[in-house]
Chain A
């Protein structure tokens, strides 16, 4: 073959794809196809998993021009990576969109639910510890733990700073497990609670309507407090709350709608395919990636356990009992987790409507996950010195 190519150099141009093909490329095509299947047939986070799956295929065609790193001829996935992920722009833009979608009213009415959201971040730290036990270095372990924030943009944001080489698998793990919340959380909750606990009813008495002024000042207050504690988190929490203030200000409805729809759709599309573009076979087909996928599951399990047990702990000291299942909604997978838990309550007792409490905790999870991400970002550099 080499002699033929020497004689007819143009053959190399035509056959380079076939000549460069390895079994690892084919495995990555199958992984890409699986992600596309999960998105299309199972409806698992389709907006993310479909572009990620397709990007993974593009990145694993031998000599793919989509990921060319030749100076002056960079592939579009490399250009997008540099423009949106290496500089952390895409996650921040996604947060603006999420902020514009969030309604913090149930949280403002019952701010105590933020405690559950804090407890449900336990998975981040437990997983980081597990990751060091199985051999990851600290900054990689902390980035793996962030899967437990159940928040894709936060995972990408942290990974792009401290685990660039693991960005692809970390993102895939975060989004896959977020879409698997209805599969992961119910059995874990059932193991941690009794049927009587799952049937506890929570009333809505004493909840007062929230004024527009409070809704408007809330995002500013959150940004100032979080920013003072961890200035490094301002980009994340600031963009989330900027999106929200567009929504509650009431004077820029067109901007709010744009953030909620066009911006969210456009950045999600670009983010997904760019993440897929980082999933080259040599980076993805490693033992470490298998460990990361396993640790991702550990993170979600510990988040759920942390939230539920914290609610049970509070019940020990409170006359007014809470349904401990709402503790599990403290993860940031919004609104899926809230809906899953509300459905579980209805399944246990068809007259038990806890949806508003569950959604309140779930919205709090959005804030708590960003705060946790900010704290991790602040602590990593101090500890790796």
Chain B
């Protein structure tokens, strides 16, 4: 086993997973904001 490669893979996970959840958190907040800011008019049907 290449210890350096293993360490890099673990580092990648430790960086990417939290950043991923952070980005997804921002997506969620922004989507909520969009949905609230531009509500569907009553006559507009849901797809």
Contact = CB atoms under 8 A, between A and B. Distances in A.
A108 interface: yes
Contacts of A217: 34, 38
A375 interface: yes
Interface in B1-47: 1-2, 4-6, 8-13, 15-17, 19-21, 23-24, 26-28, 30-32, 34-35, 37-41, 44-47
A103 B47 contact: yes
A11 interface: no
B29 to A, nearest CB: 8
B28 A112 contact: yes
B12 A142 contact: yes
Contacts of B27: 111, 114, 221-222, 225, 367
Contacts of A105: 46-47
Contact of A379 (B15, B24, B35, B37): B15
Interface string A199-212: 00000000011111
Interface stretch (A71-79, A88-96, A120-128, A157-165): A120-128
B34 A108 contact: yes
A208 B39 contact: yes
B5 A209 contact: no
Given A129-B13, A208-B40, A210-B40, A108 B35 contact: yes
Interface string A106-143: 01110110110110011011101101111111100110
Interface residues of A, number: 53
Contacts, number: 130
B2 to A, nearest CB: 6
Given A117-B24, A135-B2, A210-B46, A225 B30 contact: yes
B31 to A, nearest CB: 4
A368 B23 CA distance: 9
B9 to A, nearest CB: 5
Contact of A132 (B2, B28, B37, B47): B2
Given A118-B24, A135-B1, A214 B16 contact: no
Contact of B40 (A122, A211, A368): A211
Contact of B16 (A125, A134, A141): A125
A35 B5 CA distance: 33
Contacts of B30: 221, 225
Given A129-B9, A145-B9, A210-B40, 16 more contacts: A111-B32, A114-B27, A114-B31, A118-B17, A122-B17, A136-B5, A138-B4, A138-B9, A208-B39, A209-B44, A210-B35, A214-B35, A225-B23, A371-B20, A375-B19, A376-B12
